[in-house]
A and B are shown apart, each in its own frame.
Chain A
Amino acid sequence: MAAPRVALLITAEPFDAAAETAALQTSGSDVGAVATFVGLCRSEGGILSGLELEHYPGMAEEEISRVIADALARWPLDGVTVIHRHGLMRPGDGIVFVGTASSHRAAAFSACEFLMDYLKTRAPFWKKEHRLDGSTGGWVAAKAEDDAAASRWKSGE
């Protein structure tokens, strides 16, 4: 298998999920499966005007690179794309894109979920709520279920 195509982007700009998916489809000579995940900004039932994402420049790239390397060591992948945005998001905006390409669906599905679980708990990003009434909400609290989702990969696939 040729070296996998790896794309990692930390950016304030919006991404084009369809174009990223198309690029993954041609990331190898015999791609049979592409799995993608897009995480969006929610309004939390019409309460929020948006989310502000703060990140640790430098560490964000390095930490996500380490997570991608882990995924490549676990599954036979032809391509991996991770895009994580920072700055102010409005409800409906894409915050994160994770895509994986492989010969078969099992590796693509599993690697995509693994990447997302580890991004949640290891990538240095923090969300702050902005409310429609103009006030600044609090910082979003980390969820115990995110830690649980990441830890399940430690005992095998």
Chain B
Amino acid sequence: MIISAPVFAMWLNSMTEITLVYFAWVRERVGKSEERVSVPDTVTTIEELAAWLKTRDEAYDHAFENPAIVRAAIDRKHVRPNASISGAGEIAFFPPMTGG
């Protein structure tokens, strides 16, 4: 059996459990408002997390089809796509805000 390098790397690394929450059309597309996921330790930033989620299934692929417009918050603070997710308790993904 041939194992690709990235898959083998994921075996070697441990996983981290994170709570993810989704709002508005990101929530509708993902099909849930909250979940606990085991994220491989090779995923270190918000944009890497979005890219990893996108590969999970069609629903996530749809939610993150244009990752540049999906915003994120770590522990209820706005963050940029290159923000580290190390130590994050709760990560939120949502569209640009339209309150007020």
Contacts and interface: CB of A to CB of B under 8 A. Distances in A.
B76 A123 contact: no
Interface in A29-59: 39, 53-56, 58-59
Nearest to B33: A54
Interface in B38-55: none
Nearest to B71: A124
Given A124-B23, A124-B73, A141 B99 contact: no
Interface size class of B (residues with CB under 8 A): 10 to 19
Given A122-B78, A122-B97, 4 more contacts: A56-B21, A120-B98, A124-B23, A124-B94
B100 interface: yes
B92 A55 contact: no
Interface residues of A, number: 28
A59 B95 CA distance: 15
A121 interface: yes
Contacts of A107: none
Contacts of B37: none
B24 interface: yes
Contacts of A63: 76-78
Contact of B99 (A58, A127, A139): A127
Interface in B53-100: 73, 76-78, 92, 94-100
B76 to A, nearest CB: 4
A128 B99 CA distance: 10
A84 B99 CA distance: 8
A69 interface: no
B97 A123 contact: yes
